[in-house]
Each structure stands twice: as structure tokens, then as C-alpha cells.
Amino acid sequence: MSIIEKLNSVKDIVPNYWPIGSFIHHNPLKGFEDLHFKDALKKAQNIFGGKVYMDSSYFMDLYWQGKIDISTIEANIKDLLNKNNLEIDLELAKQLLMEVSPQWNHLRIKFLHKKEKIDDELYLHLQENSILYDEKAWLDQLIKHMTLYEINDALFGGDDKEHIEKNIIEFVSRFLDEDQTTLSMPNRELGMFETFKLYENFAYERDAESFVKESLKQLHVQDIESYFLTHLLKLHGWAGFIKYRSEDPDYISQQQYPSTLIDYIAVRLYHELESVKKSKISNFKLFEEYSNNNISDVILQLLMHKNMLFGPALDALEANEKTSKILSGHIANELNLDALQIQHSNEVLQSNLPLKELATILKKLREEEGYIWLKSLEDSYINNYVEKFTELKNEDEEEPIASATFCLDVRSETIRRYIESTGAYKTYGAGGFLGIPIAFVEFDKAHEQFLAPAIIKPGNVVFEIPKESSEEYKSKKGVNKTTKKILSDLKNNPYTPFIMVEAIGWIFGITLFGKTFLPQKTNRLFSKIKPKKPKTTYTMDKLSTERIEIYINKLHTKIISKYLNSSLGKEFSKEETNEIWRHLILNDYLSIDIPNKMIEKLKAEYQITPEDYEYQKQKLLMVGFTLEEKVTYLYKYLTMVGQVDVFPKFVTIIGHGSISDNNPFESALDCGACGGNISLPNTRALCMIANTHDVREKMKEKGIHIPENTKFIPGLHITTTDKIEFFDTDILSHEEMQQFSKIKDDFNKASTLSIEERSQSLPCTHNEKDMMIKSMDWSEPRPEWGLAKNMGVFAGPRSSTKHLALNNRFFMHSYDWKVDNDDAEILTRIFDGPLIVGEWINLEHYFSTVDNHVYGAGSKVYHNTVSKIGVMNGNYSDLKIGLPIQSVYLEGKAYHEPVRLLTFMEAPLEKVLKAVENSIAKPFIINEWIRPIIIDTEAKKVYSYEYGEFIVIKEIE
């Protein structure tokens, strides 16, 4: 294997880190999804450390609250005993789990200063099974995932690690900076390693791969893959971000300033070599020799470095006693405490089991207890909700006066419930991107947003353009840009051709590229200061080839004119500018006298080249939709939610977003299915498509008849305040507007009721006013609970859940299996998009809760935004992955309940099996990273997927 291949073999252990501006919820253990959930967590714990399950005391609290049913605990313990051939009474195993385990650590501390007789047979058993008597294996365990500079620090009392990591963070954060700093690092376009050589004044003529090869040889590294992983784990947030951007060909900063993981490893190894060359141990061969000659001392120093030595051993080290004697005493003390823990456990149990046998059972049970508790909690919820979802329900419904589709987001559940209670309204749920992935360029913004799940790359570009005068907006905004800045924006934006042509006078002004930073403390101040965006529409139709060519010509000639005017102080005519453009693009003869260096600069720096001309054409061909694409997206959406025959006069499709101030994690509260962005553009685009006559005519050919008087109206649900605002209502007649006003009134009533319910779970919040203040308060660490407490998905008809208050804990996706085909194409699409997003959200919350230090972001109190890509603690630290503790904890206790996603699907078993087989989500489904439950109303059975097969857990009456 090459060096790159060896690095690639371990890189996926480190999770991707998306920039915080478009926060992507993700499974931090995504690289382990090829393993069963339980096996993956065991492996991850060995690599990352930290916890992977909540403590047993946490689960005991849930048990006493009645959330965990004793029958599920008994069933899961029986399963463990049977699979491991452990012959032990069930009641005794329950005692071990529920009485001994919660106080296990206390038992050890209790005996630190207490002398008791140790059972000889038990002590011998522990001795025979302990790694502590195999010094070489013990040493290997202690130095696992330690770099050579860390080993030197541990053995000789140095602090090189702190200096090295600080230097690396300083360089990497400046190199990866996305316009947060006022003074950018020079030469970044050369790439990370080439820039680093200039940064350190380091003369090396070859590339990063060669440097890494030579460095590993110099350090005498034997297991290269393992050592790569060791280095990646040191700052795995930064490594994850470099990995993400190096794998995304569309990431603008990566295109401008390339970086790769091999560059990053080269930077790290440079600092390691600089550190160890002045150390006593400068390579691993020397370390092996040193440790062979001083094994006891090396182990003791490593234990002390890791805070794993007791007081007597520390005192003996300080007194310069013989290290072999100190180590022997430490081992004896450890085994004594282990033995006393087991002996006292036996006293608690009052059992007659031989202590040796009890030790074996305890070891296995403690290895499995986290999973037993987790699965028992999940099973209790599954049993409870299966009963509720399969209750007999009243199928009679009034003909709806309007329908409302919300994102399947858990925060939509309450408001959907209250909307349905206010009148004859039918609600649906779908992934917030609505199955229409778009690259969206907002009015007055220079770059696109990918409004789709992170795994989907949009193929259509949509621009937001004003359909009324924007003079007031521009005058309020008051942006003044230098020629240099305008040129910089022009050359760095891949969609500049379209934007710039509009800027020349067709629709926009040149201030389109401006940015505004207007901090607001109150809503009143905000409304007075912030420019009000004019009414807008979207570019829904394809551009003609002729128009595209005109756009690019206008763009290029505008750049040429601006550049030459600023450089020569001379205005060029339109004909002269076009001649220069034809020379640059078509290689035509140039009769105008212009310095050659300026021609070259236009080519090199401003990219006025034939290659750029073709590139811009390809990008602009993506703008808008063909008629066939419009029909396909609308058809897929309607069949996905099952709205194929009921079309009331008003069909509302409501996206969602969040509002909060001074909150780097704000995008984590937006739509996960839209890449951490507000999903309004998707709803507006789909409604524009659905309101098109040609599209409706084509839909008839597909068997879906949308009445002529039906209007699709887009809306936006603000989850922090539960307010709903509608857009594009100018398509309604005066009479229709009056009718729609009644619907808006009902939705506002639902909003008020939803606010009252949701405010009860937020601390220091009692009413609508309190929730509004939270959304504007700069010091508020918890503007809303977001997706905390998410626990499940329901994919099926609304009639199965409409009678239930699900307390914002379920993602609710509408699905009618009768509309789906034999290949389960619709259910497969739900798996491939919304389900993957749901799993990422669920597992990010899970791991951020079980160990916020390792998998979460820590407290917001200590966060500083760095490089506009993430947050770190204080002045320098690793990029903080996961969610801040305020998102999942309240007053020191877990608010989020970490369980796997309980995925209920109302469909025939065969249809679900077909969808699983066809889906890219298959690995995490069959490896039980979620808990699939199938409600098969045709077969009158409910199935749960466990240990590789679907088992019947209920017969439906």
C-alpha cells in the first residue's frame, strides 16, 4: 500500500466536520457503520475513549420513573445469558445489573484505605487474567495512540505537546480562515503544505507525501496506519474539517486554497521531528531500547502522566524507591481492590456463587450492561407506541378546506396537532427539502447554498431576483465597495455571470455583492434598521444558450473595463472592450495597445480565458428547470406524501427555520434536510412549479388531477417562536385572499396554542413573550430545545398518529404504501434522504449526551468562533464537534434521552424489505444503528428487526 492508501484506510474513523455556518447533524461514528451498533461502540470506545452509554444510575432513574419496563430488562438479560452460556439465575443477574452495578465505582473507592482478607482463589484468578503481569502488553496498551513527543513528555516531564498543538492550531486556523481575519495568510493558493514551508521558512523541495514518507522512516514508525490515526485523533475536529473540504469538489475555499489530510499529517510530523530531535528519545527504535532496559520506570511514568497511580506509589516514586518494587506494589494494590469489589458485590447479592465464577459473570455483564439498559429502554418505548399506533381509529374525516405540509422535523408535531384541532385541515410531513434539491443563490448574496441533505448534490440552480424596485433596500443598506473588492467578488463567484448581468442594469445593482452586519437586540430595533428585502421571485426556467453567452460576455467585459480603468485611468469603449474580450477568449487579433502584463493578469488573476468561458457556460446551464424536471419533482413530492387525490382550494407547503442572536450554532436549529439552512426556498420553488399550468397539464398524464382553482401557497414556520408566515399570496384574487385570511387566523390560533405547550419545557419561559425574547437575547444559550428528545420516526398515514400527542419526539413523514410501486421506490427515497438525515440527527444527539466532552462541543460559555468555520474553547483548542452541552443538558442532568431512532413504518413487510435492499441506508439499517419496526396492517402483524431478522412482536386484532 502507498502512503496515501494507508492514510485513506484510517481517515474515515475521524468524522467529517462541516462548517458551522451550515451545520450538518452527523453521526460522529459514521466510519463504524459497517459494524453492528454494539460492536462499533466497543471499538470506538477503545479508540476515542470516553463513554458510549449512559451510566447505569441514569437508567435506574428512568426505571423508577416507570419508563423502562421490567419485562424488557428480563428479556434482554435472558438473551445475554443464553448467548454467552452463563448459567446464572435470572433474579441474581437482575440484582447484579440493578443493585451492584450502579454502585460499582463507589465500592472501589470505599476500600482504598480499608484492609480486608482477600479470597486466595479469586486473587489467583484475577492475577491469571490480568494484563498487568504482561509488561510488554501493558506498555503497548499505555502508549496506544500516543505520539513520540507525548511519550517524551510523559517520561521526562516535558510540555512539548502543548506547544506543538498550539502551533499547529495557529497555522491551520489561519490557513483555513474564511474571511474572519482582517489580514489573510499570504500564498494560500499554493496549497497547505507549500504555504506551510513558506510559513516556517522550511526549505524542502518535494511534496507532502514524500515528506511524510521520510519522516515516518526517520521516526522508525512500524505500524504506519496506526500512527496516522494517532495523529488524526490529536485534533480530530480540525482533521475532520480538512477531510470534509478535501472531499468536496464544490467547496469554494478548497478550490481557492487546497488542503488535504496528507498535507495536514506533513505539518504535524514536521513539528514532531523538530521537537524530538532535541529529546533523549528521538525515534521509536530508541524508545524500544530504552523501555526494554527501564520497563518498570517507563510504565510508572506513563501511569503517573495519565493520573493512574495511587498515593503510596507516588510517595514511593518521590522517595526514589526501586521502581520494580513500586510497580509490584501498585499491581498488588490494583488486584486487591478488584478482588474486594467482587467480594463485596457477593455480599450485596447474598449469593452462594463461587467468587471466581462471579468474577467471570460480573465482567461479562458489566461489558454488556450499557447495551442491555439501552435496548430495554428502547423496547419499552417500542411496546408502548406499537399499542398506540395500532389502536382502532375513526377513519371518517371532513373534506379539508386547506392542507398543510410541514417538514418531518420533530418540532412540527405540536403545531400540526393544533392546526388540525382548529378546523377541517389535513396535514402532511416530508423532508424539508421536499425532494427538490436546489443550489440557491439568495437575493443580495454572492454564493450558493445547497438546500438538500448533505449526501445529495443539487443539479439545479435557483436565483432569487426582485420583482419590484429595490431602491429603498439599497439606500438603507448603504454599501460602498471599492473597485478592488468588486473585482475580487467577480472572479471568485462561480455564478457571477448571471448575477453580474442583472447587476449591470437588467434587475440588480452592483451592490448585490455587499454584505451587511447589523446586530439587533430587539425586534423593534431590528425592523427599523434592517433593510427590507423587496418582493422577489425565482429563476424557475432554463436559460437559452444565446442568453448564457450574452451573460458571460457582459461579465467578462465588465471585469475588463473595471480592471483597465483602475489600472490605466482610461475609459474604453464598448467596441474596444469587446475586441479585448475576443482576443482573450477567441484568440482574435488585438489592434489596441495594452501592456502584455495586463493581458496576462486578466488571464491569470481574473480568469478571462477560454476555459473559464466554457466553465461558466456549464454552470449557467444548471439554472432553472426544464418542464420535464418540474413535472418529475412535483410528481415525486405528491406521491411521496400520498397527496394524489385530495386537493383543497389552498395547499400550503411550509418550510422552517430558527431565529436566534449571537449563536454560532443557529444553523443547527434550521432544517437538517436542507444542509442546515432555512427550507423556505424549497417550498417557494415547489409551489411555483405546482401553480404552473403546463405542469398541471402534464400531471394529468400521470394520473394526478389538480383542480384549476387550487392554489399552492408557501410558508415559513419559525421554530423558536412557532410563528407561521406565508409568501407569494399575491397570486390570490381579492375573494381568495379573504378566504385565505380565515385560514391564516386559524393557523395563528394553532401557533399560540403550540407556543403555550412548548414554552413549558424551556427554562425561564412561560408564554409567547418569553419565547420571543429568547430568540433575540444575545446572552441566551438555549433559544429553543431544537431537536432534543427526538426518539423516533413514523412513516405512514396521519390517521395512525392524529389521535396522539407525541410531544415533539417523532419525525413524522407521510407515506401511503398503496401509492408506492412494487419496487418500493417512494419508501426507498424516504430512506435515502429523510431517514439518513434523521439517523444523523438522532446519533449526534445521542453521543453529545452520553459524553459531551468527547463527542459534543462542551459549554457555549467558553466558545470562540474561529475562521468562520467552527468554535473552539478559549484562544486555541480543537474544533468542537457535536452539540453544545446546553442543547442536551439542563441543570447538570441530561434533558435529551439518548436512544437509537425508533423507526416505525406502516407498510407490508415485503415492501420494506425491498426498500432496505435498494437503499444506500442499508448498512446502518441492518447493523441496527436505528430500530426498525414494521406495522403491517395487511398481514395484521408488527415486526421488529433484531439481531439480523424481523421478528413478530404483536398480532394486530
Within 13 Å, how many C-alpha atoms sit on residue 757's CB side? 20
Q: Is 25 labelled as part of a ligand binding site?
A: no
Q: Is 34 labelled as part of a ligand binding site?
A: no
Cβ–Cβ < 8 Å for 635, 696: no
Cβ–Cβ < 8 Å for 431, 833: yes
Stated length of the chain: 957
Task: Check the CA dihedral 180-181-186-192 and report its sign.
Answer: negative
Cβ–Cβ < 8 Å for 921, 932: no
Report H helices in 402-461: 412-422
Nearest to 863 by CA among 890, 892, 884: 884
Cβ–Cβ < 8 Å for 600, 780: no
Cβ–Cβ < 8 Å for 113, 336: no
439 strand-pairing partners: 450, 461
**What is the residue-wise DSSP string for 84-115?**
TT----HHHHHHIIIIIGGGHHHHHHHTTT--
Report DSSP state, residue 833.
I
What are the angstrom distances between the C-alpha of 441 and each of 66, 461, 463, 532, 680? 50, 8, 5, 18, 13
Task: Check the CA dihedral 425-429-433-437 and report its sign.
Answer: negative
Within 13 Å, how many C-alpha atoms sit on residue 71's CB side? 6
Nearest to 851 by CA among 44, 3, 119: 44
> Residue 224 and residue 5: Cα distance in Å, rounded?
11
**346 SS3 class:** helix
**What is the residue-wise DSSP string for 620-680?**
HTTBSB-HHHHHHHHHHHHHHHT-SS---SEEEEEEEE---SS-TTGGGGSBGGGTSB--H
**796 SS3 class:** strand
Phi then psi for residue 943, to 5 deg, are -115, 145
* Beta-carbon contacts of residue 881 (< 8 Å; ≥ 6 apart): 15, 17, 28, 236, 237, 240, 855, 856, 857
Q: Cell numbers 517507563 correspond to what residue?
A: 298
The full 3-state SS of 314-336, as one line of letters, equals HHHHHCCCCHHHHHHHHHHHHHH
Within 13 Å, how many C-alpha atoms sit on residue 782's CB side? 19
Q: Is 583 labelled as part of a ligand binding site?
A: no
Q: Is 671 labelled as part of a ligand binding site?
A: yes
Strands 889-890 and 930-936: unpaired
**202 SS3 class:** coil
Tally Cβ neighbours within 10 Å of residue 600. 10
Nearest to 334 by CA among 142, 123, 116, 51: 123
Nearest to 267 by CA among 151, 150, 169, 145: 169
909 strand-pairing partners: none
**What is the residue-wise DSSP string for 568-579?**
HS----HHHHHH
Residue numbers belonging to the annotated binding site for Zn(2+): 407, 409, 656, 671
Residue numbers belonging to the annotated binding site: 407, 409, 656, 671
